[in-house]
Structure 1
Amino acid sequence: MPQPQTDRVRPLAAPAPFRPRGRRLSGRRVVVTGGADGLGAAIVRAFADDAARVVVLDPRGEAAARLAGEVGGRALRVDLTDPVDTREQMEKAVAGLGGLDVLVTCAADQRYAPLLEMDPVDLGGTFPLPVQSMLVAVQAAACAMVGFRTPGDDCVGKIITVAGAGGPGSSGPAHHAAARASVVALTRAAAQELGPHGITVNCLCPGHVLPPAEAAARSRAEVAAWSAQSPLGRLGEPRDVARAAVFLASGDSDYLTGDALNVGGGMALH
């Protein structure tokens, strides 16, 4: 006599390996500010691997030049705390590329201090840098993109800002939290203003991201504690954020604007 069927949870098949969908950024003209190392460098490499033409703007001129040499791009030294120099170098980069399709702003100051121990220098350096440099770079990029929209064009330019984990309301030193929230707010305001010109503006909000070599230098307890904050059970790597940046820079995201995309393995759920 046949036995009644019972609902059982079947194990899922092993996921297919990640395979990029071809070269989505082929020929796109890209400027990355703060791209000499860290997340910025990972984004530069990912864009170059996808056949984009990349200019790296960074105050660390030698590091930027080395990276540009590796990926076949170009580097310009810039003082991101100086609005005039930032504007001039942006214009020089755009002129060298013959136009601009994508801007990524990665500039940030890594000084950390608790609120009660904060030196005014920490506040003066960390808070304005990502916000001020972003504003100047975004304005210069928008000026280069506006006016190129033709009938039938859905999108003529992409602007991608990079903030910290979770955007507004996330934890961390007070001045960093304030800067992150400002970057997200400015992203949304710029998206509203630039949308009619066919320009999308979105923000990447990474979680705990460590290159494998840096993660290996941390204690097991520290890495385990951070990893436990993600439902995926691991820390992010720069390539995770870089892949998201490639998506935002591609035509696949043409109807996405004004959003803060958390790339933190679900850490923002806590």
Structure 2
Amino acid sequence: MNRLINRHCVEAADPPPGGRVLDFGSGLGHMAVAFAERVGPQGRVVGIERSPDQIAAARAFERPNLEFRIGDATDPPLEEGEWGTFDLVHARFLLEHVPDPLAVVRRMVAAARPGGRVVLADDDHEILRLHPEPPSFPRLWRAYMEAYRRLGNDPIVGRRLVTLLHLAGARPVRTEWLPFGSCAGDPLFAGYAENMIGVIRTGRETMIREGLISGGDFDASIGDLRCWSLLPDAVLWYALNWAEGARP
């Protein structure tokens, strides 16, 4: 799905040429690499990720203006002199996975320079739409979201991004949805549909264990999704919640 949404996210974040960018929860480095291309050789991008495996993969992309550091978003590995110096501090698909998103956003605000931008992008899973929608899909998707929640995640944190910026001491200045979609006939649609099915399948064990859906109903619903993905008029739409604040 990264291929579908990265361009929109980079354009919305709009890192300045020559700017300093800090990417919280940088993962495999896709956004940090794109930021490094935008800021150019006079700029600087630092990506922070707690997963050793993802850091190892991301470091293959390091270059003079791009560095990856291993560390936790609640205690980012910054030198004393780096706090309060970044033009853009960014996090995407991070806050839904942390137990205290406000603590993370407070650290992000502290890392930004006065007047610097803090950009948050995250999910509200209730936004997903399919058409023609398989009759079994709403129940399957609700079960997935509840399983996601019971594992300690927040499937609707995206709607709280402006509130988090405000509570963290930033001045919210902008919010929007970054919409994207795909349909049968798009050469990449089959991959997007399979990615969505794969994401849902990761919750199978939890969904069944928690009594959210039976194994038989789960498997039948996945079969319905595969049939939907082969329809000549199959469509999926989603929108990423996006918010920007400024450090006073």
TM-score by length of 1: 0.47
Please state if 1:190 is matched with 2:164: yes
Structure 1 segment 183-222 matched on structure 2, within 5 A? 183-193=157-167, 197-198=170-171, 200=173, 202=175, 215=191, 218=194, 221=227
Please state if 1:180 is matched with 2:173: no
Closer, same or farther: CA 68–26 of 1 in aligned 2, 3 Å: farther
Distance 1:199 1:93 in 2: 27
Closer, same or farther: CA 136–227 of 1 in aligned 2, 3 Å: farther
Tell me what 1:63 maps to. 54
Q: Which runs of 5+ in 2 are unaligned?
A: 1-7, 130-137, 183-187, 198-225
Closer, same or farther: CA 208–65 of 1 in aligned 2, 3 Å: farther
Distance 1:78 1:71 in 2: 17
- The Cα of 1:204 is off from its aligned counterpart by 6.3
- The Cα of 1:50 is off from its aligned counterpart by 0.9
Identity in percent? 14
Please state if 1:159 is matched with 2:159: no
- The Cα of 1:160 is off from its aligned counterpart by 1.5
Tell me what 1:47 maps to. 35
- The Cα of 1:135 is off from its aligned counterpart by 2.4
> For the Cα contact (< 8 Å) 1:161–1:202, is it kept in 2?
no
Q: Which amino acid aligns with 1:48?
A: A
> For the Cα contact (< 8 Å) 1:103–1:141, is it kept in 2?
yes
Q: Which runs of 5+ in 1 are unaligned?
A: 1-17, 80-85, 109-127, 150-155, 249-255, 259-270
> For the Cα contact (< 8 Å) 1:100–1:144, is it kept in 2?
yes
TM-score by length of 2: 0.51
> For the Cα contact (< 8 Å) 1:61–1:76, is it kept in 2?
no
Distance 2:49 2:100 in 1: 11
Distance 2:227 2:148 in 1: 25
2:103 corresponds, among 131, 136, 139, to 136
> For the Cα contact (< 8 Å) 2:83–2:110, is it kept in 1?
no
Q: Higher strand share goes to which structure?
A: 2
Bigger Rg over Cα: 1
RMSD, aligned α-carbons: 4.8
Distance 1:206 1:133 in 2: 27
